[in-house]
Amino acid sequence: EVQLVESGGGLVQAGGSLRLSCAASGFTFDDYSIGWFRQAPGKEREGVSCISASDGYKHYTDSVKGRFTISSDNAKNSVYLQMNSLEPEDTAVYYCVALTFCERPPRPWGRRDYWGLGTQVTVSS
C-alpha cells in the first residue's frame, strides 16, 4: 500500500518556523521526485517545492524562495520542508506528493502519482 504521511504542521506566529516531514512507503522511493503542494481556503492547490530524484535539483515557487528549504533522506525514504520567516499567506494544508519528475522551469512539476493526506499549517499575524 502506497503511503505518504506528512507531519510537523501546526500553529505558529508570523516570522516563526516549522519543519514538515514526509515519510514514504509502498513504492520505490528512488524512482520518484517528491514535492510539496499546498492549498489555502478558497484558493487553488499550488506547487511549493520539489526535489529531483535524478540529480537532486531543488525547485521553489517564487513566493517561498529564500524562506523554505527542501531536503531528503533516502535512507529513511523521507523528505522535509524547513519553513522559516513564515507569513500569514503561507497558511494552508500542505501535501506531500510523489512526482514523475522535478525539473527546471518552465515545467517543473511532473505527474502527481501519489498524494499524502496533508498537514495544516496556520500562521497568525
What is the secondary structure of 89-106 as a DSSP string? GG-EEEEEEEES-B-STT
What is the model's pLDDT at position 32? 96
Residues 6+ apart with CB under 8 A from 96: 4, 5, 6, 20, 22, 24, 34, 35, 36, 79, 115, 116
Cell match 520505490: residue? Answer: 28
What is the model's pLDDT at position 25? 96
Give the pLDDT of the chain (125 residues) as one tens digit per residue.
999 999 999 999 999 999 999 999 999 999 999 999 999 999 999 999 999 999 999 999 999 999 999 999 999 999 999 999 999 999 999 999 999 999 999 999 999 999 999 999 999 99
How far apart (Å, rounded) are the C-alpha atoms in residues 11 and 20? 12
What is the model's pLDDT at position 92? 98
The helix, strand and coil proportions of the chain, stated in percent and rounded to the nearest 5, come to 10, 50, 40
Residues 121/92, Cβ–Cβ less than 8 Å: yes
How far apart (Å, rounded) are the C-alpha atoms in residues 42 and 75? 37
